[in-house]
Amino acid sequence: MAGTGLFAEILDGDVYKYYADGEWKKSSSAKTVAIINPTTRKTQYKVQACTQEEVNKVMESAKTAQKSWAKTPLWKRAELLHKAAAILKEHKAPIAECLVKEIAKPAKDAVTEVVRSGDLVSYTAEEGVRILGEGKFLVSDSFPGNERTKYCLTSKIPLGVILAIPPFNYPVNLAVSKIAPALIAGNSLVLKPPTQGAVSALHMVHCFHLAGFPKGLISCVTGKGSEIGDFLTMHPGVNCISFTGGDTGIAISKKAGMVPLQMELGGKDACIVLEDADLDLVAANIIKGGFSYSGQRCTAVKVVLVMESVADGCVFTKDVNKAILISDAMETGTVQINSAPARGPDHFPFQGLKDSGIGSQGVTNSINMMTKIKSTVINLPTPSYTMG
């Protein structure tokens, strides 16, 4: 059960602790935030209401821990991520229980989210070793007017402290989709989970704690957005913000200043149905796309655009050429052909345009956006060419 056995450490009486400096702590505020069970409409859980001073301490610890973590070999980072993934999947039942009680996620889907999250963490570890283990070597004479007197070595280095803010509907999966890329890239991470979904996230964070990550590298602060929300997103110690949600993301982007942003803010998710579409396929996907998980998904179908000649029946298209032409003409981040809008598998790029988001998600894209390029140039006294 949630908050028992392996997870007993994260609970104090009937209030869940927050995570900082490798320890589970009670807030000095002595205040709590209630989490309402959407099914019973009664208080299911309580979490700590962290203070701004506690956020300051978390940021300082994250900054210190990141410097050491950046010197940790890639294989060791990956090893710890694999360990966290295994613990997460082994203890899927209590985490899934939290998802059911906090956000009313169906039991089967709740288990699927936890297992999927473990798989995402492991995949990210492997992908990170591959793409971060490579750099570029450039020579100066490839640009007109230059002799070969300079060698340029480029590599991807961490940004520093990543602030991760996942949404209520996938509080575990969309948290680890930020945590794992941040850690494999050598960053530290501060997680601010949604209120509805916070206890699920705290159980997930404990899996990373049990895996043995260094103190201060991962933190999870809970509390009221009105008290610590803007304080977190505008904190000078934050070097990157990864946010999934709605219009709040637009407000964050205006306040965040000169830090990289990864924003997924939902969209209109229209289905376009042409004359030659398989009507049974269309109907099934529109129903699934619009109403699965009660429509509580950023990719839920919200608009259906149907050619008048088949409006009574509805449709996608069997003509791939038409599908590609329409896809190319659309100003949108992702087009699904003959399927409802969806995010994933988790290594697929996922992005929006305009108010729908900034940057791109997906394992590889997230790792890349949580790094920056560093160049080291070697200057030679005279031109040097390899003779073979």
Q: What is the mean pLDDT of each run of 10 residues along the chain (388 residues)?
A: 94 97 97 96 98 98 98 98 98 98 96 98 98 95 97 97 96 97 98 97 98 98 93 97 89 90 83 87 82 68 78 74 87 82 82 82 94 97 90
**What mean pLDDT is reported for the chain?**
92
Identify the bridge partners of residue 351 per DSSP, sorted by sequence position.
Answer: 360
The count of residues in the chain is 388
Contact 299, 332 (CB under 8 A): no
227-249: per-residue pLDDT in tens? 999 999 999 999 999 999 888 88
Tokens 């991760």 belong to which residue?
164
What single DSSP character describes residue 319? -
Region of 377 (left: φ > 0; alpha: ψ -120 to 50; beta: rest) is beta
Which residue out of 53, 126, 264, 308 is catalytically annotated?
A: 264
Enter the pTM of the model: 0.91
Q: From the CA atom positions of the chain, what is the Rg in Å?
A: 23
Cα torsion at 245, 250, 254, 259 (round to 10°)? 40
Measured in whole angstroms, the distance separating CA 288 from the mean position of its chain's CA atoms is: 24
Task: Identify the pLDDT of residue 221.
Answer: 98
Cα–Cα distance for residue pair 322/333, rounded to 1 Å: 18
- Catalytic residue at 264? yes
Can you give the pLDDT at residue 307? Answer: 83
Q: How far apart are CA 212 and CA 227, in angstroms?
A: 31
The two beta strands, 350-351 and 270-273, are: unpaired
| CA dihedral sign of residues 143, 148, 149, 154 | positive
Pairing, β 350-351 against β 360-361 = antiparallel
> Do the strands 240-244 and 261-264 form a parallel or antiparallel pair, or are they unpaired?
parallel
The pLDDT of residue 293 is: 67
What is the torsion angle, in degrees rounded to the nearest 10, for the CA atoms of residue 165, residue 342, residue 111 and residue 17? 10
Q: Which amino acid is at 243?
A: F
Q: Name residue 380's amino acid.
A: L
pLDDT at residue number 295 = 62
Cα distance between residue 327 and residue 317, in whole Å:
12
- Written as one letter, the residue type at 275 is E
pLDDT at 248: 87
3-state secondary structure of 388: coil
For the chain, list the domains and their CATH numbers.
5-266+372-376 (3.40.605.10), 270-329 (no CATH)
